[in-house]
Amino acid sequence: MADTQLMTIPGHIDPVPLPRPDLVEGVTPRADGRTDLIGLPKKRIAELFATAGLDAKQAKLRAKQVFHWLYHRGVTDFAEMTDIAKTMRPWLAERFVIGRPEIVEAQHSTDGTRKWLLRTPDGHDFEMVFIPDADRGTLCVSSQVGCTLNCRFCHTGTMRLVRNLTVGEIVGQVMLARDSLGEWPKGGDAAALGTRTGLDDDEDEGSYTSDGRLLTNIVMMGMGEPLYNFDNVRDALKLVMDGDGLALSKRRITLSTSGVVPKMAQCGEEIGVNLAVSLHAVTKDVRDEIVPINRKYGIEELLQACADYPGASNARRITFEYVMLKDKNDSDDDARELVRLIKHYKLPAKVNLIPFNPWPGAPYECSTPERIRRFSDIVFEAGISAPVRTPRGRDIDAACGQLKTAAEKKSRAELDRLYEEKQAALAD
């Protein structure tokens, strides 16, 4: 048998992983010597308060209060933390900051979709997208700048530089989305936090019901492979799910993986969110070509890991994402094989059919609408839900796999320059 491990995919560049900023116990060092609290769990905040001079009991109490202000109320200024003594607030502000990713650009699509181009403190651009629907609002969150995996139809896979986002940069996206949507609960003390027009009914309560919220769901489907940044994604999602903080239910969070099999069980056990799997093909040849991680973890292994996924049930089905590529993976036989595989592994599954979003230089075309409908019908007639995902935000390049398209044009030169500088520094 040929050694497919060594095969390269023409047209793709090997990505260069960049080191994360020099984290010191989860904290990104800042030039001003202060510590950004966003991304830190309550216990760690208490430790930092103790190191800064509070006694253990005080540190624990203050950490609990500050945590609530950070993640439940969304304040970005210690001065607004009204249940903390007035003298204590400047003490905090001297030592700590409440950070957010920098917004480079915010775009609003005609269909309501919003896209933000964000920047890390060390100058890397990444994106997040908000997609409002009638009954929900979904935030698509990035886990890495770029991706190491080179799926052939995905534009993110063509980016040369890759850096894992930190816990703060991941949870910071959710915080920023809440800022922009004006979605923090307002108590009487926090009247300056901004309002949501037309949705004020429950604001006086100081908390939201999910049906009053704009941002109700999170999908880890932005840039990057979340299971290749497991620890940070886990810690960020724990902050998102924390009942004292953002308090989003794990049922409203979905993590999408291209199939990092060895991390899937751990994902179910330690994070417990819904799982989406980027299957995209049902034969070894085709999946090897379009999702190259298949050469390492094949379809059978992947589907077995899905069957074993902790928490999967008919009530919490696994989503199989399937990008529709013309004459590549879209035949009737492909649809029938997909059904056979799902049944063979007895998977509680639904299938999301994603029309391929082309990008300049992409080696594929999208299947015709008729073909997609026929494919969907075959799967549906076998008793498996197979909706076709409507592309959203196309006018602002917000659709799947398009993230970073526009940003790339602007910042590629800059990223390349940074990379060259890094190489030069290493050579010195």
Q: Is 225 annotated as a binding residue?
A: yes
Which of helix, strand or coil describes residue 94? Answer: helix
Q: What is the rounded CA–CA span in Å between residue 174 and residue 240?
A: 8
Q: Is 256 annotated as a binding residue?
A: yes
Q: Is 341 annotated as a binding residue?
A: no
| 3 state SS for 264-320 | HHHHHHHCCCEEEEECCCCCHHHHHHHCHHHHCCCHHHHHHHHHCCCCCCCCCCEEE
Task: From 51-59, 144-152, 167-175, 211-219, give the range in contact with ligand SF4 by CB under 6 A.
Answer: 144-152
Q: Is 164 annotated as a binding residue?
A: no
**Catalytic status, residue 381:** no
Which of helix, strand or coil describes residue 251? Answer: helix
| Residue 294 touching ligand SF4 (CB under 6 A) | no
Dihedral angle computed from the Cα positions of residues 325, 10, 152 and 20, in that order, rounded to the nearest 10 degrees: -170
**CB-CB contact of 386 with 319 (8 Å):** no
Catalytic residue among 267, 306, 400, 408: 400
190 vs 279, beta carbon nearer ligand SF4: 279
Size of the site for ligand SAH (CB under 6 A): 17
Strand duo 16-17 + 114-119: pairing: unpaired
| Residue 233 touching ligand SF4 (CB under 6 A) | no
Selected from 59, 147, 342, 384, the binder of ligand SF4 by CB under 6 A is 147
* Residue matched to tokens 């901004």: 194
**Catalytic status, residue 127:** yes
- How many CA atoms lie less than 13 Å away from 163 in the CB half-sphere? 21
| Residue 131 touching ligand SF4 (CB under 6 A) | no
Residues 321-340 that bind ligand SAH (CB under 6 A): 321, 323
81 vs 219, beta carbon nearer ligand SF4: 219
188 vs 360, beta carbon nearer ligand SF4: 360
| Residue 157 touching ligand SF4 (CB under 6 A) | yes
Residue 75 CA, chain-centre distance (Å), reads 23
Selected from 28, 158, 357, 367, the binder of ligand SAH by CB under 6 A is 357
Selected from 217, 258, 274, 402, the binder of ligand SF4 by CB under 6 A is 258
| Phi, psi at 405, each rounded to 5° | -55, -55
| Residue 407 touching ligand SF4 (CB under 6 A) | no
Q: What is the rounded CA–CA span in Å between residue 418 and residue 424?
A: 10
Q: Is 278 annotated as a binding residue?
A: yes
Q: Tally Cβ neighbours within 10 Å of residue 99.
A: 20
| Residue 153 touching ligand SAH (CB under 6 A) | yes
Structure tokens at 191: 């009247």
**CB-CB contact of 274 with 253 (8 Å):** yes
- Got the DSSP string for 401-427? T-TTHHHHHHHHHHHHHHHHHHHHHHH
Selected from 98, 118, 131, 154, the binder of ligand SF4 by CB under 6 A is 154
Q: Shortest approach of ligand SAH to residue 270 CB, angstroms?
A: 18
Strand duo 16-17 + 161-164: pairing: parallel
| Residue 267 touching ligand SF4 (CB under 6 A) | no
| Residue 221 touching ligand SAH (CB under 6 A) | yes
Q: Shortest approach of ligand SF4 to residue 153 CB, angstroms?
A: 7
Selected from 125, 183, 203, 225, the binder of ligand SF4 by CB under 6 A is 225
Q: Is 147 annotated as a binding residue?
A: yes
Q: Is 279 annotated as a binding residue?
A: yes
Residue 415 CA, chain-centre distance (Å), reads 21
48 vs 351, beta carbon nearer ligand SF4: 351
Selected from 49, 130, 356, 375, the binder of ligand SAH by CB under 6 A is 356
| Residue 154 touching ligand SAH (CB under 6 A) | yes
Residue count of the chain:
428
Structure tokens at 312: 């999967």
Q: Is the dihedral of CA 203, 206, 212, 215 positive or negative?
A: positive
| Residue 400 touching ligand SAH (CB under 6 A) | yes
| Residue 397 touching ligand SAH (CB under 6 A) | no
Measured CA angle at 329 (ends 405, 220), to 5 deg: 45
| Phi, psi at 259, each rounded to 5° | 120, 45
Residue ranges of the binding site: 147, 151, 154, 224-225, 256, 278-280, 357
Per the annotation, binding residues for [4Fe-4S] cluster are 147, 151, 154
**Catalytic residue numbers, as ranges:** 127, 400
Where along the sequence are the contacts to ligand SAH (CB under 6 A)?
151, 153-155, 221, 225, 256-258, 278, 321, 323, 354, 356-357, 400-401
| Residues lying near ligand SF4 in the complex (CB under 6 A) | 147, 149-151, 154, 156-157, 224-225, 258, 278
